[in-house]
A and B are shown apart, each in its own frame.
Chain A
């Protein structure tokens, strides 16, 4: 957390560049993917060779519209592409195809959740407005070697959605929460994979500070090309402190483009591309304006998944889950749907199912995957629920056996471990291990009466009768011992109370 002096306010806006989940590039049919040999995923359209014409990829447009619907944006009747002109070797055409005046997404908002006072307390919720999002092409990758630079155009032409927020964020924690929420929405809707290690999500971060109460925004700086959530957080903290230090020393803030060195945890002024801001935009003559049909919008609206915080509210309010379990489940759509399938098979105890899923199942899945989180250092490893040996209905079966008193909660843990190993049904494991609790009232009544008659427990009985509720527990041990731990604890408790009343 940053320590911003209370008389200062920080104002943050983000530009998030997300590679959309498509097979081919946005204006060309060249495939794309991470980790290929340099310049192996390039065709004549990507290079802008003479005689070629760009044609827009339908899937890229639909993914962009789907994002708009996910954040409740307006999907305009038309969108159009412009040329952004600059001379720099990351772009083979000397211009980037982007959308300036008629973007594919206008408006919308993203709900965020700030960290609570502790892990099991929900933090404050806020809405961050989206200004617009436009569909453009990614640029090539430069690497610097000795006196020259090398260019790989594999990334050039990859569909990129640039999501621009309003300056609504007020702290590093809010910026972090926004990115986590955005990533969850993008991945859950299948718009993008957001793998930061593969550069699929990169941020430009605009930061300014002002005296609290000032209506006018301060001069902002833009730190470009941040490729992890932690870099965005650290940049905000660094830049806030730097700007306040400058202003308090009586100096002014220069509007500038900056870079971030994650290793040294410090920002620096970028030697800007010369006159980079004079991009001489004009409508691209090769790509006609696109009319977006309302039928397409209606069809895509059906693909919008339940918003993760709507889901979280439903789990807490309707299903009665503790916040801790609900917040874990909703972060992963596949996990949430797995949980809901289990609840459908045993609707009586959603919390019991949630606890097993959020704790035991996730722990065992993570242990079997063994990989660290890819895009987000703090998030759990990517799950392979598809290959999970336990199916939702089987987990529901285990919880039902516990609820019915057939096995104890302690035994359920043991059965769960066995289910995860073998993929067998809970009931089969319970029978094979002879774990079925003794719920034969007649037999148990006899044992309970014998135990009560034992002079060794007379003192506990007297204490219980004198009002010490806990003293009754001393009687349960000997009963369990005589039944080899198979007695139903709920039944024992009932019988003890009956005979001691």
Chain B
């Protein structure tokens, strides 16, 4: 396990199955990337939001309803559908 992260846990979160070689390679690359962030974190900067990405309210959209795709178009681009709904493998969060 590389310092600061668990490659197996990250692979699981990203739904990736990695070989031992890939794990070693990505661990080393990720360590380098995180090292760069560490360097940034150590820089002496004011703790504010990035000014370059700030917009005012003129950039907001008005509350005007626009066109929709329609259930047929939505379900057509899904791998599987039934009765206007997108069909997926069963996910459970009910009491059962």
Contacts and interface: CB of A to CB of B under 8 A. Distances in A.
A47 B74 contact: yes
B64 interface: yes
Interface string B44-80: 0000011001111101111111111111001100000
Contact of A151 (B60, B69, B85): B85
Contacts of A41: 68
B21 interface: no
Nearest to B78: A151
A58 B61 contact: yes
A152 B63 contact: no
Interface string A244-276: 000000000000000101000000101101110
B86 A89 contact: yes
Contacts of B74: 39, 42, 47, 153
Contact of B56 (A55, A142, A293): A293
B71 A38 contact: yes
A56 B68 CA distance: 17
Specify which of A30, A149, A268 lies most central, judged by the most chain B CB atoms within 10 Å of its CB: A149
Contact of A259 (B56, B59, B71, B93): B93
Interface stretch (A3-11, A21-29, A428-436): A21-29
B1 to A, nearest CB: 16
B40 to A, nearest CB: 14
B66 to A, nearest CB: 3
Given A55-B59, A144-B94, A150-B85, A30 B54 contact: no
B62 A58 contact: yes
B60 A57 contact: yes
A421 interface: no
Specify which of A24, A60, A259, A274 lies most central, judged by the most chain B CB atoms within 10 Å of its CB: A24
B39 interface: no
B53 A38 contact: no
A379 interface: no
Interface stretch (A107-115, A212-220, A283-291): A283-291
A55 to B, nearest CB: 4
A273 B85 CA distance: 22
Interface string A78-98: 101000000111000000000
A61 interface: yes
Nearest to B55: A288
Given A30-B66, A31-B68, A259-B93, A39 B54 contact: no
A259 B57 contact: no
A275 B12 contact: yes
Contacts of A274: 12
B33 to A, nearest CB: 14
Interface string A386-429: 00000000000000000000000000000000000000000000
B46 to A, nearest CB: 14
A58 B87 contact: no
B45 to A, nearest CB: 15
The size class of the interface chain B forms with chain A is: 35 or more
Contacts of B93: 259, 270-271, 273
B41 interface: no
Given A78-B49, A151-B85, A293 B71 contact: no
Nearest to A87: B15
Contact of A38 (B50, B63, B84, B91): B84
A261 B75 contact: no
A354 B20 CA distance: 78
Given A148-B88, A288-B54, 11 more contacts: A38-B71, A55-B61, A58-B57, A61-B57, A143-B85, A150-B86, A152-B85, A152-B86, A288-B53, A288-B59, A291-B56
Contact of B92 (A23, A55, A144): A144
A296 B60 CA distance: 13
B13 interface: yes
Contacts of B22: none
A289 B85 contact: no
B57 A43 contact: no
Q: Which 4 A-B pairs have the closest CB atoms?
A: A29-B66, A31-B65, A59-B63, A58-B60
A375 interface: no
B36 to A, nearest CB: 15
B54 A291 contact: yes
A43 B69 contact: yes
Contact of A280 (B13, B59, B71): B13
A124 interface: no
B95 interface: yes
B61 to A, nearest CB: 4
B20 to A, nearest CB: 22
A268 B65 contact: no
A292 interface: yes
Nearest to A43: B68
Interface in A269-316: 270-271, 273-275, 278, 280, 288-293, 296
